[in-house]
Chain A
Amino acid sequence: MVTRRGFLKGGGLALLGVGLMGGIPAFMAEAAASDKIFRPYKRKKVLVCIFQRGAMDGLMAVTPFTDTYLQSARPGLSLSAAKSGNGNPLIDLDGRWGLHPGMKAFEPLFRDGRLGIVHGIGSPNNTRSHFDAQDYMESGTPFNKGTASGWLNRAVGLLGHDAVTPFTAVSLTSALPRSFYGDHPSVAISNLQDFAIELKSNPAAANTAARSFEDLYDQTSSGLLQQTGKESFEAMKMLQAADVRHYRPANGAIYPTSPLGNSLRQIAQLIKMDVGLEVAFTESNGWDTHFNQGTDNGIFARNVTDLSNSIAAFWTDLDASQDDVTLMTMTEFGRTVHQNGTGGTDHGRGSCNFILGKDIAGGKVHGQVAALATENLEDGRDLPVTTDFRSVFSAVADGHLQIANDKVLFPDWVGAKAPVMKG
């Protein structure tokens, strides 16, 4: 399906000469960047999703630290909120819930009421297979493998207008994620800098090649190739005009040099460049902590530190754009309440997620988590899923992007939205 794109029809960056590829002279880039870019669309809200692949241990990320059952189920994996001994204590959020000390960057956001947490979130399908659970969460249909589209792609289709630019839905991943499968325009870009015609160490030749390509695609009789070609070159010029290579984050924000940090930095660039981004996706890996997950130090601590520092840097960097952006994390399931024989935890059911934004009912741990006595656990071992992920995703998508069609967004789902949004 080719979608008409108003931005390009309107001439977009016509002022920008063709062929500014490879080594653009700095003065030209500056001149181009200072040109007022004509935008025939209103600035839109942006939803940023982070998939934490591998299943995050929600009980260690956000711990019910007063729960004695948990402490005895995890003698080697418990953190306390009290400042005692050597390790760093949990960050006491409200007398019951403690944030992992690695996530201290989240604390001010939570206290500010910008960051909300949902605990006991998960899928109604009790599969403990990473693949199946991720697949179901991304397709948004927990009992149907054959759903061709992903829920975020359907969200793009429900935005209520044509995709305005090639950057309406962008995944900062090397391949298109399952969440983005579908008919609505969406792209996977692993690095914004790659968005150029390249002929290594020969910018002049790259320049000619780019001009030739642009001309050929402009003339082709294939509508699909012509339209997409035009969009591609416009997109390239937008990015080059913004000089993505030399991006400097605002407010002294320092992104971790991790894959997640890099992805979020580029998403921030796209948001601030105002190129029509509305849905963004990226992922964070390494959450499958069967072995020695550690406590205030170790694999898990490093993971949550990277997660929270990346997100906090992103938020700081966004500056004035914070008003338009909501960020949400997700993970396929949680982990066993009991620690296993190798200092880790195995595949479980409920986990928690984080939602950040101005319109979030933040400063609060949502959801129901009962005392973790065996009789309260799913199959006698796991944190039960008390909040269907779809009730949270739809609340956020509907509340932030004004999508009000849950039948399309989450077919087969009938339920109430979780009260995670303000108002």
Chain B
Amino acid sequence: MNPIPPGRVSKCPASNMKTVFKILGIVLVLLGGHLLLSSFMAGMLPMHALDGARLSLPSLDGTRIPPYRFPFRQAGLTDRQAAAHLLSRFTYGASPGQVDAVVTMGLENWWAQQLAADLPDDSLSQCLSQYDALQLTNQRVADLYPKPGQVARMAIRDGVIDKDSVKTDRKEYREFIRSYMQEKGLKPEQDLFRQFFCQKVLRAAYSHNQLQEVMTDFWFNHFNVSITKNDCAGFIPAYERDVIRPNALGRFGDLLVKTAKSPAMLYYLDNFSSSAPLPGGQEMGGDTTLMAKVQQARKNRGLNENYAREVMELHTLGVDGGYTQQDVTQAARVLTGWTVYPMNDAGKGLLTRFSEDQLASRGFVHEGDFLFNANRHDKGEKIVLGHTFPAGGGYDEGVTLLGMLAHHPSTARFIARKLAVRFVSDDPPQTLINKMTKTFLEKDGDIRQVLITMVSAPEFWSATAVREKTKSPFELAIGAVRSLHGVIEQPYPLYNWVSKMGEKKYYYQAPTGFPDKGSYWINTGSLLNRMNFGLALATGRIPGVRIDLVALNNGHEPEDAQAALVIFSKIMLPERNLDATIKRLTPMLNDPNLAQKVDAASVRTEDGGGMGAGRNGADGGQSGTAGIQPDNDMAMVAANDGRAAQLGQVVGIIIGSPEFQRR
């Protein structure tokens, strides 16, 4: 089988979207109307889905959520301003025309649709289906993607290499290993990660269920796991796919239990290894081989408190949530035996000697990748946060413990605050946090209800909240692409740019996750990279991302730099007052000498007519998919290059500008 080159997609939703956009553009001109297009662009969904019934959607316990209205007019915001604010917080950036579309359908309706998170995403799914690793189970991942050291051991065992010829720093050796892996149907782990990064970029850019993607990002970061930890790395794609995303708008307690039981978390915070210590002693008499075996076994056993501590400090109660070191140790004892079901035959060992029923009758629990190993569980009595777990509790006491934590008032406060920090401001008002905490406690940790409380509160719409958040590098990159209707043919270069700007997704080492505050993202190391990113994207210098600036302006090339600034600020930064910015920049950009210089320089560029700044970002020879073809008339291209280059430059400046860093 020929593996799909990672990072390469031949057809993406954006290409389709672009075609549709163009057709609609014509329709728009014919009808002289704006509404059809904008509604369509809002969510790419049929109009019938927009009926008012959506206002009240079923809550998790089956009752209807009462209708609500967003109090933005009281805060002095117009409908368009409010829509822009809403989109800036709960999507990866508004696409052109989306503000109007949301106003047309009603902010509350749009919001209800996003909470339901069931808009069809067919073109995205189709695009993602070209990545062959995205749907693999953890077991398949373990089978297909061995760790580097594992391969060498296999090759030695198979007798294809001599153990003395392992030279990991030699090119020939690496070549050999590569072909050996291919023969065995094995793949390098990096291929898996690359596909996973690409899906992240594509979903963020093109999913119509934007809120779900944003919340997936939020919860992943909250329950952070990291590729930097080898043991858990391969299980991270399934973690996001099966544990985080489906529950991102569900109940907090479900997220907590499911993360606790997932291989990624069990390995990342070491609970897989945590067990009751073997009873010490001299009971083995004089049998030295048995003694040695027991010693070895004892070495492999023992309590590991890492997960128990972080589940309280970082996942639920918060560091000041009112627990003690004693609680941590006791909670760790409760969770002993929570581990990963072995994925290779050697590891299964004893387990295979018993049927599932026999295991169950001995107190074992086997659910997918999760194993409660009753033999490793500490069967004694424990007391956590004042609650007594009588001796002999088994698996259920862990579930009870996590339930207690999920419903604790400290947890409600901690999660409410963290959500408010993400969606309102780096320093959200306590009044808002209190309202959200109350909902969290009353509604059994129903995340959608907590979000509704947040958006229905005046604090969400206040002047201290609007534009107050700083885009993370990922939000900046995806937002820029969305604001230009960019076509992502290869997501990986974008992922790399995001890393370069300081957000290497899935690699944050500490269980805290990335800090969610502007001062973390904005520093001297990253700010110039943001500006360079803007210039690179807008001038078509990011391989695999195509943008068409002229098409965005209905096929018209702006007459001069000032016109370009005005037009593209409106498209890319809807409802922001940029008069002062435009006024300041105009003389600089309109410097006639400068235009000449830019013109001269751009004609000189080594890739000449292929550049067509802002016209075609695909790297050499890799385009050829649906979309705008570069102009073939070389003379015309050369003549237009100066202006095209300047247009790209203007748009790049908008992306790199301080205003665009805010959301």
Contacts and interface: CB of A to CB of B under 8 A. Distances in A.
Interface in B498-542: 499-500, 502, 504, 507, 509-512, 515, 518-519, 522-529, 531-532, 535-536, 539, 541
A211 B649 CA distance: 12
A218 to B, nearest CB: 9
A394 interface: no
A420 to B, nearest CB: 28
A146 B604 contact: no
Interface stretch (A102-110, A219-227, A244-252, A324-332): A219-227
A208 B499 contact: no
A135 B510 contact: yes
A363 to B, nearest CB: 32
A213 B527 CA distance: 11
A225 B524 contact: no
A174 interface: yes
Interface stretch (A88-96, A112-120, A286-294, A308-316): A286-294
B508 to A, nearest CB: 9
Interface residues of A, number: 69
A148 B652 CA distance: 35
A145 B510 contact: yes
Interface in B567-602: 580-581, 584-585, 588-589, 591, 594, 597-598, 600-602
A212 interface: yes
Given A187-B525, A203-B601, A205-B602, A219 B166 contact: no
A129 to B, nearest CB: 7
A134 to B, nearest CB: 8
A225 B581 CA distance: 15
Contacts of B164: 292, 343
A232 interface: yes
A201 B604 contact: yes
Contacts of A145: 269, 306, 309-310, 510-511
B166 A291 contact: yes
Contacts of A194: 528-529
A196 interface: yes
A155 B135 CA distance: 45
Nearest to B313: A146
B121 interface: no
Contacts of A379: 299
A225 B657 CA distance: 10
A235 interface: yes
B588 A208 contact: yes
A187 B606 CA distance: 34
B167 A148 contact: no
A268 to B, nearest CB: 19
A51 B153 CA distance: 28
Contacts of A197: 528, 531-532, 535
A216 B584 contact: yes
B657 A213 contact: yes
A253 B588 CA distance: 45
Contacts of A286: 168-169
A126 to B, nearest CB: 10
Contact of B649 (A2, A166, A199): A199
Contacts of B470: 222, 224-225
Contact of B658 (A176, A185, A220): A220
A204 B646 CA distance: 11
Nearest to B607: A201
A38 interface: no
B589 A208 contact: yes
B511 A205 contact: no
Contact of B597 (A174, A196, A204, A291): A204
Contacts of B602: 202, 205
Contacts of B598: 202, 204-205, 208
Nearest to B585: A212
Contacts of B163: 291-292, 341-343
A204 B525 contact: no
B398 interface: no
A200 interface: yes
Among B309, B470, B541, B656, max chain A CB count under 10 A is at B656
B12 interface: no
A224 B522 contact: yes
Contacts of A196: 528
Contacts of B662: 222, 225
A74 interface: no
Interface stretch (B2-10, B223-231, B357-365): B223-231
Contacts of A190: 500
B471 to A, nearest CB: 11
Nearest to A217: B658
B525 A178 contact: no
Contacts of B594: 204, 208
A131 interface: yes
A209 B652 contact: yes
A286 B135 CA distance: 32
A219 B527 contact: no
Contact of A215 (B229, B532, B588): B588
A56 to B, nearest CB: 15
A228 interface: yes
Given A198-B532, A209-B652, A291 B510 contact: no
Contacts of A129: 229, 231
Contact of A228 (B522, B646, B649): B522
B605 interface: yes
Nearest to B167: A292
B270 interface: yes
Contacts of B591: 208
Nearest to A234: B524
B588 A185 contact: no
A203 B518 CA distance: 31
Nearest to A291: B166
A340 to B, nearest CB: 10
Contact of A211 (B309, B588, B659): B588
A231 interface: yes
A299 interface: yes
A189 B536 CA distance: 19
Interface in B143-172: 149, 152-153, 156, 163-169
5 contacts: A130-B230, A187-B525, A187-B526, A189-B525, A225-B470
Pairs of residues from A and B, 6 with the lowest C-beta to C-beta distance, nearest first: A187-B525, A220-B658, A204-B597, A166-B524, A291-B166, A131-B229
Given A146-B309, A146-B510, A190-B500, 6 more contacts: A178-B509, A201-B601, A204-B600, A205-B602, A213-B653, A342-B166
Interface of A: 1-2, 129-132, 135, 139, 144-148, 166, 174-176, 178, 181, 183, 185-190, 194-206, 208-209, 211-213, 215-217, 219-220, 222, 224-226, 228-229, 231-232, 235-236, 286, 290-292, 299, 302, 341-343, 379
